[in-house]
Each structure stands twice: as structure tokens, then as C-alpha cells.
Amino acid sequence: MPTKIHFGKGEVQKTGDIVKGYAKKVLVVTGRSSAQKTGTLEKVLTSLKKADVDALVFDRIEPNPRATTIDEAARLAREEQCELIIGLGGGSAMDAAKAIATVALSKRPIHEYIRGNHTGLWKSLLPIQEALPIIAIPTLAATGSEANSGAVITNWETKEKSSISGPGLFPKAAILDPELTFSVPANYTADGAVDIFTHLYEGYLTGDEEAHVQDEITEGLMRTVIKYARQAIDSPQDYEARAQLLWTSTLALIGVAGAGRGGPFPVHQIEHTISAHFDISHGRGLAILTPAYFKHIVKPDRPQRLARLGRQVFGLTHKNLDEAAEAAIAAVEDWMKSIGAYDTLQNVGIPKESFQQMAEDTVRVSGMGQGFVAATRPLQANDIVKILNAAYTGE
């Protein structure tokens, strides 16, 4: 993991000094309003100016960043001869920065790099070896994009949302200033916490069961996000709570938790299709899917893993395996309810009529040509429909 981490109170003030070692002209990529309203964008621009770094701002990144927007920003970066891309914001801004850095250098549309697209080119174009240098400045604890080599992009026209990856996408540096997350509202804090938790439980439930060191690391991070999510919601400017969440977010998807254990991420893949079709919050989509996935896939396949999660993360003491697995599912549901993240597909307005198409799209886009999505077992389209039906009402 080559990204240099700068963590702590006030670290954003060092942005210019960090960036000037890589570039003299940069494109700052951010969302449409948050970084401006909170003053974070101004802090970054001021620091860059003090370091004699020229900066352009592209502030039109959507919550699920679109391929067309990325291609537009990349053209701007190329025409203006920007030498580095700064991703300022949540996972969408950081992922967009990685994609923009790729296209600005290669001059190829980002859709050609997205796994599972219609062009048939993804095998020859992945992984991404080269891109413009990237600096990531997260303002939300959620995706962990600040210190890994992946990004998720949406092609809205084809309703495809999937990943790009490669060594060229590791940020050169990540500036993790917990104070930048103070202004995150309760619903985004909750959705971000669910995203972190899902990053942790996915491989934990699907990967090698004998990777005990990785399991212990994962369980510790799970306990941390559960503890501090509520604290950050109750006290938004609690530095300790925000710092713990932000560091857990980074560690959850940095590679260490799952090293040697592996395991696919089926819930993320199903959710990507949902938000590609209906543009909902990624974290909220994960919260909707999690109980249904646990009940209808993991419990029949690996009840012992759910039992361990309940025991190690929530302190449950049930002896009977079936009861222990059920209690673990209930504990996760209760936690999501306690932070305001629990929801259903019905409540967010996603119709049952869309389920078959979304299931087929998930298999096509995320199945890598295998005809199924890897999980505790291969998930066919009908398995995914079953999960979606259960998530419709939360049963």
C-alpha cells in the first residue's frame, strides 16, 4: 500500500506543501455544494495558493459519479495541462478523481475501463497501470477510497455501475483530517458507518474460515465502527469519535483486514446495480440488503460465521448454532435501527417489477462472464431476486 497517510487535526492545512512535491498545477474534484458550504474547499485552495500551486476546481461530481461527468472533467484537466488530481469529498469525489486521472492521461472514455461493460474491452484494459498522480482528502468516513486502488463509476445511460482498479489508482497521499467530517449530517454518518461495516463483513462471511489473524482484525474494526457511529451521530463535533470512524474506514478497505482470507463482496455488487438504476445512497442500499442477505444466503450456508460475528462483535452467548446465527442477524438489524440506517426497498420507492432486470444486470456486470455472482455459493439471478424480495419489506 504505497499511499502516504497524513492523519490528524489540522492536516488539511498542509495540502499545499504535500501537493507541491508532485505538481505545480492541479484539478480539485469535488461535489456540488458540501465542500463549499463547510469552507473545506476554501481551506484547500488557500493552502495550495500559499505553496504556489495553481488550482482549477471541478465541482460537479454526483453522488454516484457518472461516466459522462468524468470524461468531461478529464478533458478539462488535459486541456489545462493539470499535473495532478485532488479528490475532495466522500467516496464519489475520490473515486471520480481516480477515474479522471486515468482518462486525462489515456484519452480513452472511462466506460472502456469499467468491469462488465458492453464493449468487451475490460479484460485488455484492466488493471490500470498509469494515471496522473492523485491526492485524496476524505470529508466522510465511508468508502476507504483514500488509500486503495479501486473506484466505482456509474454509466447512467446503460444503468451500469461497476469498478475500475489497478496500481495506477493508488493516491500518492491521503490527507485524513477528522475535523473535516464534523459537518457530516446524521444520515450520511449512519450510511457511511454501514458501508464500513459491510466492507468488513463481506470477506469475513465469504472468505477462508481459517484466517484467524484476519478475523480478529476484522472483528476489532467492526466493534469500533459500531461503538463510534452512535457517538458521532449524537455528538457531531466529537473529535475522538470522528477520528476513530475515519481511521476505521481507511483500514477496512486498505487490504490488511482480508489479507490471506480473501472473499467476494456480493452485497456491494447487488447494491451497485440498485443505485445504478435508482441513484440511492450506497450506504443506505447496503443497509437495506444486509438483513435479507444474512437471512436467506449466509444463515443457510455458513451459520457458524454469523454465530462467530455475534459472539465476537456483539458479545452474544447463545449455545445453539441456529439461535446464535439468528441472534447475530437481529443484533446487526438493531444496530442499524439505532443509528437510523435500517430501511427497505419498498420505503425508498423501488418497485418489485425492477427486480428481475436488476438481478440479471448484477450477474452480467459483476459476474465477470461466469453467469453468477460469487458469494458463500454462486448466486444466480433467481438467488438475487430472492434477496431483493426479502429486502422489499425487510422480511
Taking the C-alpha atoms of residue 385 and residue 389, their distance in angstroms, rounded to an integer, is 6
Question: What pairs with residue 152 in β-bridges?
Answer: 163
DSSP 254: S
| pLDDT the model gives residue 123 | 56
Taking the C-alpha atoms of residue 263 and residue 371, their distance in angstroms, rounded to an integer, is 18
Taking the C-alpha atoms of residue 248 and residue 56, their distance in angstroms, rounded to an integer, is 31
Cα angle 364-366-368, degrees, rounded to a multiple of 5? 75
Shortest CA distance to 10 belongs to which of 177, 181, 140? 177
- Residue whose entry in the numeric block shows the C-alpha cell 473515486: 95
The phi, psi pair for 144, rounded to 5°, reads 75, 10
3-state helix, strand, coil in the chain (%, to 5): 55, 10, 30
All three cell numbers of 126: 484492466
Contact 32, 42 (CB under 8 A): no
The phi, psi pair for 27, rounded to 5°, reads -110, 120
| pLDDT the model gives residue 368 | 80
Question: Where do runs of H (alpha helix) occur along 182-302?
Answer: 186-206, 212-234, 239-252, 266-278, 282-293, 299-301
DSSP 366: H
Query: b or e along 164-183 (b: 16 or more beta carbons within 10 Å of the residue's beta carbon)?
Result: bbbebbbbbbbbbbbbbbbb
| pLDDT the model gives residue 148 | 96
Question: Where do runs of H (alpha helix) occur along the chain?
Answer: 15-19, 34-38, 40-50, 67-79, 91-106, 122-125, 186-206, 212-234, 239-252, 266-278, 282-293, 299-301, 303-314, 321-338, 355-366, 381-393
All three cell numbers of 83: 499535473
Peptide bond into 351 cis (omega under 30): no
Taking the C-alpha atoms of residue 308 and residue 330, their distance in angstroms, rounded to an integer, is 14
Taking the C-alpha atoms of residue 161 and residue 156, their distance in angstroms, rounded to an integer, is 8
- Residue whose entry in the numeric block shows the C-alpha cell 456486470: 365
Q: Rounded to whole angstroms, what are the CA distances from 144 to 184, 203, 221, 361? A: 16, 15, 13, 26
| pLDDT the model gives residue 158 | 85
Query: In tens digits, what is the pLDDT along the chain, a chain of 395 residues?
Result: 899 999 999 999 999 999 999 999 999 999 998 888 899 999 999 999 999 999 999 999 999 999 999 999 999 999 999 999 999 999 999 999 999 999 999 999 998 888 765 545 555 566 899 999 999 999 999 999 999 999 999 988 888 898 999 999 999 999 999 999 999 999 999 999 999 999 999 999 999 999 999 999 999 999 999 999 999 999 999 999 999 999 999 999 999 999 999 999 999 999 999 999 998 999 999 999 999 999 999 999 999 999 999 999 999 999 999 999 999 999 999 999 999 999 999 999 999 999 999 999 999 888 888 889 999 999 999 999 999 999 999 88
| pLDDT the model gives residue 117 | 57
Shortest CA distance to 5 belongs to which of 153, 198, 137? 137
- Identity of the amino acid at 192: G
Taking the C-alpha atoms of residue 44 and residue 54, their distance in angstroms, rounded to an integer, is 12
Contact 26, 54 (CB under 8 A): yes
Taking the C-alpha atoms of residue 345 and residue 352, their distance in angstroms, rounded to an integer, is 9
| pLDDT the model gives residue 369 | 80
- Residue whose entry in the numeric block shows the C-alpha cell 446524521: 186
- Identity of the amino acid at 203: G
3-state secondary structure of 348: coil
3-state secondary structure of 341: coil
- The pTM (predicted TM-score) of the whole model is 0.96
